[in-house]
Amino acid sequence: MTKIQETGDKVLANVERVIVGKHLEVRLALVALLCRGHLLIEDVPGTGKTVLAKAIARSLGGSFRRIQFTPDLLPSDVSGLSIYNQKTLEFEFRPGPIFSQVVLADEINRATPKTQSSLLECMEERQATIDGTTYPMPDPFLVIATQNPIEYEGTFALPEAQLDRFMLRLRLGYPQPIEEVVILDEQKRTHPLDDLEEILSVDDLREMQAAVREIYVDSTLSEYIVRLVNGTRNHPDVYLGASPRGSIALYRAGQAMAGLLGRDYVIPDDIKALAEPALAHRLIIKTSSSIHDIQAGQVIRELLESTAIEGVRPTGGGPTERNATGRGPRTAPSA
E-state strands within 43-130: 64-68, 80-85, 90-95, 102-106, 127-130
Ranges of the chain with pLDDT below 50: 319-335
- pLDDT, tens digit (0-9, with 9 covering 90-100), for 167-217: 999 888 888 888 888 888 887 777 878 788 888 888 889 999 999 999 999
- pLDDT, tens digit (0-9, with 9 covering 90-100), for 119-147: 888 998 999 888 888 899 998 899 999 88
CA–centroid distance for 139 within its chain:
17
The separation between the first and the last C-alpha atoms of the chain, rounded to the nearest angstrom, is 19
Report phi then psi at 255, rounded to 5.
-65, -45
pLDDT for 322:
40
The domain segmentation of the chain, as residue ranges, is: 1-201, 214-335
pLDDT for 313:
78
Examine domains 1-201 and 214-335 and report if their fold is the same. no
CA-CA distance, 41 to 83, in Å (whole number)?
A: 34
CB of 205 closer than 8 Å to CB of 33: yes
Beta bridge partner(s), residue 238: 285
pLDDT for 1:
62
CA-CA distance, 158 to 149, in Å (whole number)?
A: 11
Report CA torsion sign: 75, 243, 148, 29. negative
The CATH H-level superfamily of 1-201 is P-loop containing nucleotide triphosphate hydrolases (3.40.50.300)
pLDDT for 317:
60
Domain 214-335 listed as CATH 1.10.8.80: yes
pLDDT for 153:
65
CA–centroid distance for 233 within its chain:
22
Query: pTM (2 decimals)?
Result: 0.84
pLDDT for 132:
82
